[in-house]
Copies of this chain bind each other. A is one copy, B any other.
Amino acid sequence: MTDLSGLIQSDAAADRVVPPAGFTVQLTLFSAGAMAFLAVFALALSLAAGRLAVHWGTELARSSTLRISAHAEQMDTQVAAALRVLETTPGVESARALDTTEQQALLEPWFGPGLPIDMLPVPRLIEILETGAGYDAPGLRLRLQGEVPGAVLDDHTRYRRPLVSAAAHLRVLGWLSILLISGTLAAMVTLAANAALAANSQVIGVLRLVGATDAYIARAFVRRFTLRAITGAAVGMMLGLAGIWLLPEGDTANDLLTGFALTGWHWGLPVLIPPLAGATAFLATRAAAARVLRGLA
């Protein structure tokens, strides 16, 4: 009965038949605005949490260390054996023994710069980079046990893994709240449209009396509400972006709030909110109008 072309094509005369103002209009504007505002924050939260998860994830989750303790004479053999095992382990992208300088750098905090590393029974370290899918740690441990008895696999991701999962969960929470907010917006707009239609039952009666078709009446209401929702959402979005923009920007990528600002093309995402709000309002009002008009028949 009502289509988008009718919505876009301006019909000043038809527009005037619906009372211009009123609290239902303010309600629509306000709910669309408030929901868009919240949606921007939820979006930023989701994106920031996602970035954080990725950041923490790539930083740590994909690297682990194999530590080989052995007598000096066996060391090289064992390292070579371990590298061979790792080469054939699915999920291991690359493996590489750290050289003396690197190990020295790692130990420096503990022993100071002058440590005679080759004099000490310091284990050799092999850095493992995982593929995205990761390797099967218990399986690798079993194989190493047989072939390189002195090897200890240390996926030091254990430490940050809960954080990564927390960030992931936060991201899920963000998306869930976006869903919730969209649902709330749709419900609000539907209720506001219903309230407006009910409040305007006299208008509908008059229009019917003088021969207006349902399509004509519905179009006038739908048009108004869709435009209102878009306007409200646009304002809310802008305020939301301003709010995010005003947040203090931190220097560490680690921080959630200071890393909360949108980055790069992510700034473009909130722009989708007003048209989505408009589409929601369009569908909600059209359904409400169809129902009310059927009811008043």
Residues of A at under 8 Å CB distance from B? 22-24, 26-27, 30-31, 34, 37-38, 41, 45, 67, 69, 107, 109-112, 114-115, 120-123, 152, 154, 162-163, 165-166, 169-170, 172-173, 177, 180, 184, 187-188, 191-192, 194-195, 198-199, 252, 254-258, 260
Contact = CB atoms under 8 A, between A and B. Distances in A.
B169 A256 contact: yes
Nearest to A256: B166
Contact of A154 (B30, B109, B112, B198): B109
A198 B22 contact: yes
A288 to B, nearest CB: 9
B170 A257 contact: yes
Q: How many copies does the complex hold?
A: 2
Nearest to A165: B255
B166 A254 contact: yes
A166 B22 contact: no
Contacts of A198: 22-23, 199
A120 B117 CA distance: 11
A199 B162 CA distance: 54
Contacts of A188: 27, 30-31, 34, 188
Contacts of A27: 27, 188, 191-192, 195
Contact of A69 (B37, B112, B194): B112
B111 A169 contact: no
A254 B191 contact: no
A41 B177 contact: yes
A158 to B, nearest CB: 10
Contacts of A172: 257
Given A27-B192, A199-B199, A38 B110 contact: no
A195 B111 contact: no
Nearest to A200: B199
Contacts of A38: 177, 180, 184
Contacts of A123: 110-112
A169 B26 contact: no
Nearest to A52: B166
A93 to B, nearest CB: 24
A199 B26 CA distance: 14
A223 to B, nearest CB: 20
Contacts of A191: 23, 26-27, 30
Contacts of A199: 195, 198-199
Nearest to A120: B120
A110 to B, nearest CB: 7
A179 to B, nearest CB: 12
